[in-house]
Amino acid sequence: MQRGKRPPRVGDNPAIRRTLIAFVLVLGALLVLAPLVVIFTQAFSLGPAGFARTIGHPDTRHAIMLTVVTALIAVPVNTVFGIAAAWAITKFDFWGRRFLLVVIEIPFSVSPIVAGVAYLFVYGLQGVFGPMLDSAGIKILFALPGIVLASMFVTAPFVVRELVPLMQAQGRDLEEAATSLGASGWRTFFSVTLPNIRWALLYGVVLCNARVMGEFGAVSVVSGNIRGQTNTLPLHVELLYHDYQTVGAFAAAAILTVLAIVTIAAKVLLERQGAGRASRPALAAPTAAPGNAK
Tell me what the pLDDT averaged over the chain comes to: 83
User: Tell me: the pLDDT tens digits for 19-38?
Assistant: 888 899 999 889 888 988 99
Residue 279 has pLDDT above 50, yes or no: no
State residue 159's pLDDT score: 92
Alpha-carbon radius of gyration of the chain:
24
pLDDT at residue 157 in the model: 92
- Residues 286, 192 contacting (CB under 8 angstroms): yes
pLDDT of residue 2: 52
Residue 129 has pLDDT above 90, yes or no: no
pLDDT of residue 260: 83
pLDDT at 185 over 80: no
What pLDDT does 150 receive?
A: 92
For 132-156, write each residue's pLDDT tens digit.
888 888 888 888 999 999 999 999 9
Quickly list DSSP for 71-107.
HHHHHHHHHHHHHHHHHHHHH---TTHHHHHHHHHHH
CA dihedral 215, 221, 226, 232 (to 10 degrees): -10
pLDDT at 294: 38
pLDDT for 93-111, tens place per residue?
888 888 888 888 899 888 8
List CB contacts of 107: < 8 A, sequence separation 6 or more.
Answer: 115, 153, 154, 155, 156, 157
How much is the pTM? Answer: 0.80
Q: So what's the pLDDT on residue 8?
A: 64
Check: CB of residue 152 under 8 Å from CB of residue 100. no
In this structure, what are the phi and psi dihedrals at residue 289, rounded to the nearest 5 degrees?
-75, 115
Q: Are 161 and 151 in contact (CB under 8 A)?
A: no
Residue spans per domain, the chain: 44-292
**Phi/psi-derived region of residue 282, left when phi > 0, alpha when psi is between -120 and 50, beta in every other case:** beta
Q: What class does CATH assign to 44-292?
A: mainly alpha
pLDDT in tens, 210-261: 899 989 989 999 988 888 888 999 999 999 988 888 888 999 999 988 888 8
Q: What is the mean pLDDT of residues 168-178?
A: 81
Closest to 152 measured CA to CA, from 191, 119, 190, 189: 119
* Residues 6 or more apart in contact with residue 175 via CB below 8 angstroms: 91, 188, 192, 193
Going along 44-183, which residue ranges are E strands? none
Torsion of CA 54, 55, 58, 62, to 10 degrees: 150
What is the torsion angle, in degrees rounded to the nearest 10, for the CA atoms of residue 215, residue 224, residue 117 and residue 213? 10
Residue partners of 157: CB distance under 8 A and separation at least 6: 104, 105, 107, 108
Sorted by sequence, the CB contacts under 8 Å of residue 5 that are 6+ apart come out as none
What is the mean predicted confidence (pLDDT) over 6-27? 78
CB 221 within 8 A of CB 154: no
